[in-house]
Each structure stands twice: as C-alpha cells, then as structure tokens.
Structure 1
Amino acid sequence: MQKQNDQQRRLPRRGKPLIPKMVVLLMVMYIVDVSLGLPDSLLGSGWPKMHLDLNVPLSYAGFVTMIIALNTIFSSLSSNMVTTKFGAGVVTLVSILLTTVGMLGFSISSQFWMLCLWAIPYGLGAGAIDAATNNFVALNYDSRQLNWLNSFYSVGTIISPYIMGSCLSTSAGWHLGYIIAGSIQMTIALIVFASLPLWKNTRQVKPINHQTKRRLTNWQMMKIPGMRTALITFFAYSTVEQTAGLWASTYMVRVHGISLATAAKFGSLFYIGITLGRFFAGVISDRIGDQWLVRTGCIVIFIGIAMISLPISNDHFAIIGLITIGLGCAPIWPAILHATPINFGADKSQIVIGIQMAAAYTGTTTMPPLFGWLASHFGMKLFPVFLLGFAVAVLIASERLARVAGS
C-alpha cells in the first residue's frame, strides 16, 4: 500500500480557489444529495400508518427495505462501469429519475405487493448516484465540501418526515406524502439535466492494474489489505443509521406512547442531528482528522442511546437522545468516505467507494429486517441494545482499518 502522504498529493488541495463553473456545479451537487436523502426517511416515518392501511404486520417494512437495498447493492457494484462509460452527470440524472418513478409508484400503491414492485426502481436509483457523487466530490473538491455534501443528504432526510407527518394528518395520508416528495425529486432531475454541460472536463480517474493495464475488477479489489475491514465498518455504520431512521418513529410510539403523526415528525429529529453534525464536521475536519471524527461520533452515539433507553417519563429527554444519536452518526460516514482515496489510492477510489456502498446497503438489506423480526418477538425495547452493538462494531472496525492503512 502506498504511503499516505503520496496518496494525498493525488487529491484536491484544500483552499484551492474554484472557478465559477465548478462553484455552480458544486451547488448542483448539494441539491442532488437532497434528492438522495428524500426517499430514505419516508418509509420509516410513514410505516406506522402504512402497515395498518395495507393490513400487513409491522415487521414487513423490513421486506420493502430489503428489496430497495438489494437493488441498491447491484447498482453500487455497477457504478464504476456505468460512471466510466456514461459519466457522472448522466448517471446522476438517470438515478434521480429512477427514484422518482419509485416514489410516485408508492403513491398509487394500495396493496403490499405493489410497494415491493415499485421498490425496484426505488433502489436502483440510489446506489449508482451515491457512489458517483461522493467520488466525484472527493476527486474534484476538498474534504470540507465532502462533509457538507453529506449534510445536504441529511436535509433531504429531514424534509421528507415533515412532509409525511403533515400528510398523515389529512385524509390523503401517506399517498400524498409520496406524491409531494416525488414531485420535488422530479424538479431536481430537471436541474441536473440543465447542468449536464458543466460535468464535462472534470476529473475522472479510472482504476487500472498498472501491471496488466486492464481495468481492476471488484474481486481484485477485495484482495487489497484493509478492504474487508473497511467493508465491515460501512456495514456496521449503515446498520446503525438505517435502523435508527426506520424504527425510531415506531419506537417512540410503542415505548414512549407518542401519537403517530407526532412520532413521524420526531423521526426527522434524528436526521436534524446528522445534518447539523455534518456541517460542523466540515468546519473542523481538516483540523482533527478522519479517525478522531469517527471516535468522537461513536462516543456521542453511546450517549444518545443511553438517553433514549432510560426509564424517564419526560418524552423530551428521549427526543434529545434521538438528536444526539444523529449528531454522533454525522461525522462517521463522511470521514470514512474521505479516507478512501488516502487509504486505497485516488485511482481506485471510484471502484472502492462502489464496493463500500454495496457493503453499506448489505447492512441496510439484512439488519433492519432482522431487527423488525426481533422486535416482533422481544419488543421494541430491544431498539437501543441493537444500536449499541453495531455502534461498538463501527468503533472497533474503524480502529483496525486505521492501523492497517497506516502500516
């Protein structure tokens, strides 16, 4: 593995002035990440009412997220190939259109199998855009912009629970929530379409085996030291964030006795914590480094978990705890993403990020459904314990990855 300082020379320099074209494109990228976050928190905030209307068990949310995540894994693993062939701009546009189709499909669904059908384009649109946008910013902008990019993802996850919470109090219900969110998504797609000329002549690095001069495959990348540890880190972190995002509203309803509409809005507080935390992390990221951001984030998560699990009658204490968990999650994802070109090389970052995204969505595929099954047998009070176990796994795996990358 190359030395860390050699890797740094291949990355964008902090503080380098951006030409107007790149400033405008960066603004578009921020808007794109809003579109990436919009779909992710809709299901969790609407599910306490959706499962009643569709007459399916509470745990069936896990099946929908599983279908979404399986298709996201497929598109993540394909992201290097399609981005290299068509460019990040086209891939981003098509991905947003696919998620728009999925969300509008949810809005007309009256049976559970229909949700499962529309979950296919819902998921296909997420994986490629996630890998393409994060690698694009990592190659063309500094680390501060990568943190702020992911904070705009959180803006999308904040907006959608408020949309859903407001719609649940009307006769149109969750169907209207998906119509409104899908319409926002379509507007963002039009913005990306108008910006396509700006994506040309930006930095794209192809992963090449310098001995054979052939493009590296996903399987070849798995043999690189530290790769498996990186995948465990992404898997565990994704489990914490997605399980919290999906089941927080239900936890508030079942354990704290909050109303359905109020709990849907409270679910967004988790994402508010992520948004504020990522903005702040962007300010200090170059000063304290990626690994300390991960360590601090894990400690804050532990504090938030303790707050939501204490038997205190005041619901505001649990709500603050939910925000605290979000604050803890905030710096972890951008930090481990930012470290990817440094740990594995800028020439390999696109394919590595694609594989890491696949690992993250594997956690999304398997763990929230597993928790749903466990909660149906042992109760929603298991929620804080489940989050704690995987938060500890994030800390242990990230520490090991830092040691391997530094060797």
Structure 2
Amino acid sequence: MTSERPDTKSRLSRNYKLQLATVFVGFLVFGFSENIKGPAIPRIQTSFGIDEMQLGTLLSLNALGYLLACTFTAFLVRKLGIKRVSLFAFGSMTLSGILIFLSHHYSAFSVSYFLMYIGNGILEIALAILGARIFVRNTGTMMNLSHFFYGLSSTVAPMIASGLMTVTVLSWELDWRGMYLLILSLSVIPMIPALFASFPGDELAENERIPWSSLMRDRTVWLLVLILTFGVVSELAVGGWLVNYLEKAYGWESASASGMLSAFFLCFTFARLFLGPITDRIGFTLSLIIFSGFSGLCTIAAIAAGQAGAILFAAAGIGIAPVYPTIMAFIAKRYRRQSDTVITFTVTLMGIGNVIGNYLIGAITQSFKAGDTARADAGLMRGLQAGYSFIALCALLCSATGIILYRRLKKRNELL
C-alpha cells in the first residue's frame, strides 16, 4: 500500500495540471473570442453591405443565442458530463471559425456567427463549473486567477485582431475572415488537456441534485443573482460608455479616451491577479462589499472631479474586477455538489439583467440630455453624467446587496 502512494500522488498531480491547463487556456480563448469583434465589425458591415439596423439585429440575436446556451448547459452537463460538454464547446467554436471563413453570403455568416455565440455561452458555464469542481482549496484565489487569463486576453484581443486583419500571406490578406479563422482555431489548444484529463462531479446521481423548486425558494441564491447582475452591469458598461463619455463630455481625442479605457482594463486584469488571496483571507461576502463599494465611490468621484479626476474611472476597475470570480467562488464553496445548476441559474438571470441595465443607461442619458432643449451642450453633459452615474449606482447597489447577504449569513452562522 505504501509503495503505491507516490504513484497515486503523481497521477493526481498530472491530472490537476491538465485540469488547470484546460481552465486557464480555456479562459484565454474565451476572452479572445468575445473581444475580437470590435475591429472586425466595420469590415463585416462593409463586406455584406448591411446597415446599422441589420448589424444591431445580428448582435442582438447572437446575445440571445448566448443566453439560450447558458440555460441548457447544466442539462448537457448532467447528461453528457463536464468533459464532453467542454470538448463540445471548444469544438463548436473551432467549427464556427471555419464556417465564418467560408461565409460569403450574409445568411451563412449570420448562422456561423450565431454558432460562435452558442459556443461562447456553453463555454462560460462549462469553465465556471470546472473551476467550481476543481478549486477546492484557495477557491477565491484560484477563481480570480482563472479570470485573470480572461482579462488578459480581453485586453490584447482588439490589438491582435486589428494586426491580423492587415497581415498578408502569399499575396493574400487575412482580413476579418482569416482573423476569425486563426483566433477561433486556438480553441483546439485547450481541447488537448481536456481530452486527457478527468474531472470530478459527473458521478453525482440525479436524485442528489438540488431541484429547481428549492433553488427558487433560496433567498441566498436570489441575493447572489442581484449582486452578480449589479456588478456585471457596472463592469461591462464601462467598455461601451467610457470612451463615449470622455470624448463628448471633455472633448478628448479618440486615442486618449481609448487609452483611459485600456488603463481601466489594465487595473481590472491585474486586480484579479492580486486580490484573489485577499478574498480568501477576509471572506467572500466581505470582499464583495468592500471592492464593489470602492468601485462605485471611485466612479462618483471621477464624475464629480471632472477631467482632473479622470484617472479614477480606470481605478474603478480595481474594485469591480473581483465581483464575478468571487461570486463563482462563493457558489463553489456553498453549493459544491450542485454548483452546475446554481451557476447556470445565476449567470442566465445575470445575462437578462445586463441587457436591461445597458438599456437603462442609454435611456437615462437620453432622458436627461433631452431635458434641456435650450442649451444642447449643457443637456448633453448632464445626460452623460446621469448615465454614467447609473454605472456607479450599480456598483454601490452591488455593495449594498452584499451587506444584506452578509447580515443574512452571519445571523445563520454561514458566512463565507
């Protein structure tokens, strides 16, 4: 028996390395696939001759496909196992890259692009479930570290996409089709460790899983949904609204405004790298309260200070970055044997909330802007400030909901 222990430990060590490679490289690929569209969209629009309405419809349908994938991934995991679902997600993204490359009609492209977003939705849930199952120690640190790789690839994806579209190979310019083919083909890389690794959790019997009826009655889960929704709205809205705010409110050049957005993502990415151990040390719930509150206060201070405080917009990324991975760590700890169901439930509702939140930002901006018809510049400024203040409000609501969760768990002696 004693002589078998080193070999057992060695096998476990090799398997854990394969698990880590699947999750970390998977998040890298996920970040690339989600964030290469920015530089490509103008060229796609020109290639197919589509107008803004058609483009908006395309992106909306893809967002719907992403949400649909989130809803049925837990079912697939129960029926097929997390390993097969992960391989399916990576494989569908690789296939979508090939189909996008071969698409020369708008209808074929729409279907190919929709398939890519289905793969993205499945992959997001699959990676979250994988992390929840394998990160049994230092869960907060490891969850934040895995999402660091997503942030890293998200930061460089637009630059890499722009560069690849101008590359010429044998007198043939890659353009956006070749760029998508190359980037999405990277999905093959995490398939290799996933193929040789074994993952825990698939052996759980159906009658051991938490029923949806119980999940719907769990107030803690609904608080997690609210925290995640407020946090993600505040996080993702920055990418769509910060450059617009700096250019129109302060008259910044596009390069300078984009540079501030890059600074936000830089703070965001490295916060996930360094703040993970703090979440493990002080607790997940307290971390959510402190970090999201910090982000909201930074954003409010940036708006109030004007151009002189613009750097605080970037600093807000430090606080909002740990929210998503910390929620995943919380679920992994509290609902370890039912994490696939809880993650699917929370992320799906978060996606719906994110759509509503971004609509509200635009509606608030337009409403305050239209309120002063006599002074267009003043109305625009007030509208932009009101809209961006809603982003700050979401971060503060994330913190406030965290306080409610903290009190609930403390009363029950269930703090994490």
Whether the aligned pair in 1 keeps the contact of 2:86 and 2:194 (CA below 8 Å) is no
Q: Distance in 1 between matches of 2:91 and 2:41?
A: 24
Q: CA deviation at 1:235?
A: 1.6
Query: What's the TM-score once normalised by structure 1's chain length?
Result: 0.78
Cα 1:66/1:370, change in 2 over 3 Å: farther
* 1:56-80 deviations in Å (ceiling 9; x for gaps): 27xx987555433322222222121
Distance 1:61 1:265 in 2: 26
What's the counterpart of residue 398 of structure 2? 394
* 2:117 is the alignment partner of 1:123: yes
Measure how far apart 1:351 and its partner are.
Answer: 0.4
Moved more, 22-31 or 253-262: 253-262
Matches within 5 A, 1:251-266: 251-260=245-254, 263-264=257-258, 266=260
Distance 1:250 1:48 in 2: 18
> Structure 2 stretches of 5 or more lacking a match?
1-10, 168-173, 370-382
Instruction: Please say if residues 39 and 158 of structure 2, whose CA atoms lie closer than 8 Å, have aligned partners that are also in contact.
Output: yes
Which structure has the larger Rg over C-alpha atoms?
A: 2
> Which of 18, 24, 27 is 2:21 aligned to?
27
**RMSD value over aligned CA atoms?**
3.7
Name 2:219's counterpart in structure 1. 225
**Corresponding position of 1:341:** 332
CA distance in 2, matches of 1:269, 1:111: 38
Displacement of 1:295 = 1.9
Deviation at 1:140, TM superposition (A): 1.3
The 1:125/1:244 distance shift into structure 2, 3 A limit, reads same
- The one of 133, 151, 156 aligned to 1:154: 151
Match of 1:353 in 2: 343
Task: Measure, in 2, the Cα distance between the counterparts of 1:83 and 1:193.
Answer: 17
Q: Does 1:56 align with 2:52?
A: yes
Answer yes or no: is 1:271 the counterpart of 2:265.
Answer: yes
Counterpart AA for 1:145: M
Q: Deviations over 1:217-265 (max 9, x none)?
A: 4344212232222211222122111211233333333334344466455
Q: Which amino acid in structure 2 is aligned with residue 218 of structure 1? A: W
The residue that corresponds to 1:237 in the other structure is 231
**Whole-angstrom distance in 2 between the partners of 1:190 and 1:203:** 24
Q: Structure 1 340/184 Cα, relative in aligned 2: closer, same or farther at 3 Å? A: same
Paired residue for 2:183? 184
Q: Structure 1 117/351 Cα, relative in aligned 2: closer, same or farther at 3 Å? A: same
Cα distance per residue 1:293-313 (max 9 Å; x no partner): 212211321243135424644
What CA distance in whole angstroms lies between the structure 2 residues aligned with 1:115 and 1:392?
40
Rounded to whole Å, the distance in 1 between the matches of 2:240 and 2:40 is 9
Whichever residue aligns with residue 146 of structure 2, its letter is L
TM-score by length of 2: 0.76
Higher relative contact order (CA 8 A, sep 6+): 1
Cα distance change on mapping 1:194 and 1:167 into 2, 3 Å: closer
Q: CA deviation at 1:176?
A: 4.0
Report the counterpart of residue 326 of structure 1 in structure 2. 317
Unaligned runs of 5+ in 1: 1-16
> CA offset at residue 131 of structure 1?
1.9
Report the CA distance between 1:349 and its aligned residue: 1.2
Equivalent residue for 1:298, pick from 292, 301, 309: 292
Contact kept, 8 Å, 1:229 with 1:397, in 2: the verdict is yes
- Within 2, Cα distance between the matches of 1:247 and 1:48? 19
1:304–1:83: structure 2 CA closer, same or farther, 3 Å change rule?
same
Return the letter of the residue paired with 1:337: M
Q: Distance in 2 between matches of 1:394 and 1:361?
A: 15
**Structure 1 residue 353 displacement after superposition:** 0.7
Alignment partner of 2:191 out of 187, 190, 193: 193
More helix by share: 2
The 5 Å alignment of 1:70-219 reads: 70-99=64-93, 119-141=113-135, 142=137, 143=139, 144-163=141-160, 176=175, 179-180=178-179, 182-187=181-186, 189-204=187-202, 206=204, 208-210=206-208, 215-219=209-213
Matched, 1:368 2:367: no
SS in 1 for 2:33: coil
Counting matched residue pairs gives: 377
In 1, Cα distance between equivalents of 2:67 and 2:20:
26
- 1:263-303 Cα offsets, whole Å, 9 max, x none, are 45543333222210011122323211112221221132124
Distance in structure 1 (CA, Å) of the matches to 2:106 and 2:257: 23
> Which amino acid in structure 1 is aligned with residue 356 of structure 2?
T
Partners of 2:92 and 2:115 within 8 A in 1:
yes
Which residue pairs with 1:38 in the alignment?
A: 32
Give the deviation of 1:185 after TM superposition.
2.6
